[in-house]
Structures are given as C-alpha cells and as structure tokens.
Amino acid sequence: MKDRHPRPLRVLLLFAAVLVLAACRQNADTDPVAAAPDVEQPSAERFQQSLEGLWSTEENEGDDAETLYAFEWQAEGGLRVVRDGTWLDGKVEDVDLDNGTLALHVTSDTGPSETVTVRKVPDPETPDAFSLRITWGGGQTEALGFVRRLTRRDREGVAEAISAAAQRGDGSAACDTDAPAGSVRAALVCGHEEFGVLDAGMRKQLKELADRYPDGDRTVEAATRQLDACETPACLRAAYAQWQAYFDENYDLGDVLDYQ
C-alpha cells in the first residue's frame, strides 16, 4: 500500500509530538502544587497539641472528688491549662521529646511559683494511646485519664477562667485570708475557688471556737499551724477535712463546711 503521508511530513509530525511531550514534562516538574514539600509543625508544638482535651483524675488523695483538667492548644497563644475551673497561669519552659515530658512554669501573684511536669505515659495495650501524669513542684502527683475532646463549651470555660484570673490580678477581688503571705495555703486560697470556700468556712468555725470554749485558743493555734505547714493541695484538703471531723466530734459549732 502506498504511504498517504510524504516522508517530510512524517518527520515534521514526529518532531511536533516530541515538543509537546517535552512541554508536558516541564509543566509537571514546575507545578507548584506537585513540587511543594509537606510542611510539618515543629515537634514541640505537635507534642503540646497532642495533649488537648478534657482529662480527669480517678481520685485525689484525701478527697473522693475527681479533678478535671482542660488542656487547650492555640497556634498563637500556645498551651493553656485549666484545673477545676481555675487557670494555671503558666509558660512552657521545656519539651523533652525523648522522655515525653513538658515543663510548665506556673506563676502566682499570691504565692510561690513552681514548675509543673506533665508526662505522657504510653498505653502498652493500645497503640498511640496514652495517659498523663502531673508532678507538682512539691512532689504531689496526679494520674489523668482522657475523658473527651474539648467542646465549644469547654473552650468557653477556658476563656472565662483566664478572664477571671485577669480580674483578680487587677485587684477587683481582694483575697480574704489570714494565711501568711507567700505560703502555699495563701496561694491556693487566693487562686482556687475550692480552697477559698474551705478556708472561709474554717475561719468562721475557728472564730466561734475561740469565742465560746475555754480551750478554743489552743485548738485554733494547732489547727492554723497545721494548715500553714501544708505544701501541697492534697495536704491542705486533708487538713481541712481532719479538723472538720475533730470539730464535729468534740464541739458544737455552726455547720459551715460540707465535705460530702
């Protein structure tokens, strides 16, 4: 059969096809979408972001109530932690990826500052699952289990806790306590609603005790000395509960504290 295309034309068509193929390859090589590498966050940021969620203790030493922690990560604000509705005004000092720990320096205008360590504890039975262990500056530890992801209401609660802390820092709400300035008791009473309520109720009973009973002054001194000696939240909770039980057993005082 006779070729329908003259040889010069076939050569021209083949040359054009080569040019089109080369152009396609060049476009693919320079396509910004195809060529752009994956950009990952710094490892320290990924570590902090992995903590986000609502966490809870199974129990507290000296107290049957659970303690709730809300960890919130913000790209601009960093890691924010709220404990039982109170903001832990802290700054991340260090992230140790090898040991799975984060050091959070917590500051307070009413008491001593401390470094809180948050450790990720891997679950040996479930890949990528973990729990948390928090160690406070005084040595107190808390084991936390994951509850759920943060809801919109949880995030609003974090913002409210930070706003309330800012108002206290402006002096809009004075701290009413006889605890020595700089003591752990003063820091907890002035910075945590839970301890503020316990301390206010205890002081009412101590005043009534001193006014009504001959040995009241000695008991007040002993109770105050033990409360002021506490260096951890667990110790202070236990001291309030123990003295309340002692008052209930030995004195007829107004019922202003509720440990149920």
Burial of 33 (0-12, 13-18, 19+ CB in 10 A): exposed
> Are 152 and 201 part of one and the same domain?
no
* 69, part of any domain: yes
> Are 143 and 210 part of one and the same domain?
no
* 74, part of any domain: yes
Segments forming the whole domain that contains residue 237: 184-250
Among 141, 169, 197, give the residue marking a domain's end: 169
How many other CB atoms are found less than 10 A from the CB of residue 20?
A: 9
> Are 62 and 127 part of one and the same domain?
yes
* 178, part of any domain: no
Among 169, 193, 217, give the residue marking a domain's end: 169
> Are 53 and 157 part of one and the same domain?
yes
Residues 33-89: tens digit of each pLDDT: 444 455 555 589 999 999 999 999 875 444 455 889 999 998 877 899 998 888 888
* 26, part of any domain: no
Name the one residue in this structure whose structure tokens are 């409210």.
160
* 188, part of any domain: yes
Q: What b-and-e string marks burial along 112-144, b requiring 16 or more CB atoms within 10 Å of the CB?
A: eebebbbbeeeeeeeeeeeebbbebbeebebeb
Spell out the per-residue pLDDT of the chain, length 260, in tens: 455 555 555 545 555 555 555 555 555 455 444 444 555 555 899 999 999 999 998 754 444 558 899 999 988 778 999 988 888 888 899 999 999 999 998 876 545 578 899 999 999 999 889 999 999 887 888 999 999 999 999 999 988 888 777 665 544 445 677 888 767 788 788 777 788 888 888 888 898 888 888 888 899 999 999 998 888 888 888 999 999 888 888 888 765 444 43
Beta bridge partners of 131: 121
> Are 192 and 108 part of one and the same domain?
no
* 194, part of any domain: yes
Residue 33: what pLDDT? 47
Among 169, 195, 217, give the residue marking a domain's end: 169
Residue 69: what pLDDT? 93
* 14, part of any domain: no
> Are 48 and 152 part of one and the same domain?
yes
How many other CB atoms are found less than 10 A from the CB of residue 102?
A: 22
Sheet with 78-83: strands ordered across? 86-88, 78-83, 68-74, 53-57, 141-148, 130-135, 114-122, 101-106, 90-96
pTM comes to: 0.52
Name the one residue in this structure whose structure tokens are 């960890």.
71
* 20, part of any domain: no
> Are 160 and 220 part of one and the same domain?
no
Number of independent structural domains in the chain: 2
Contacts of 256 (CB under 8 A, 6+ apart): 201, 204, 205
Token readout for 157 is 């609660």
> Are 161 and 194 part of one and the same domain?
no
Separation of CA 98 from chain center: 21
Q: What angle do CA 181, 229, 82 make, to 5 degrees?
A: 65
Q: What angle do CA 40, 44, 49 make, to 5 degrees?
A: 80
Report yes or no: 68 and 56 within 8 Å, Cβ to Cβ: yes
> Are 165 and 189 part of one and the same domain?
no
> Are 156 and 111 part of one and the same domain?
yes
> Are 138 and 49 part of one and the same domain?
yes
Burial of 89 (0-12, 13-18, 19+ CB in 10 A): buried
> Are 162 and 228 part of one and the same domain?
no
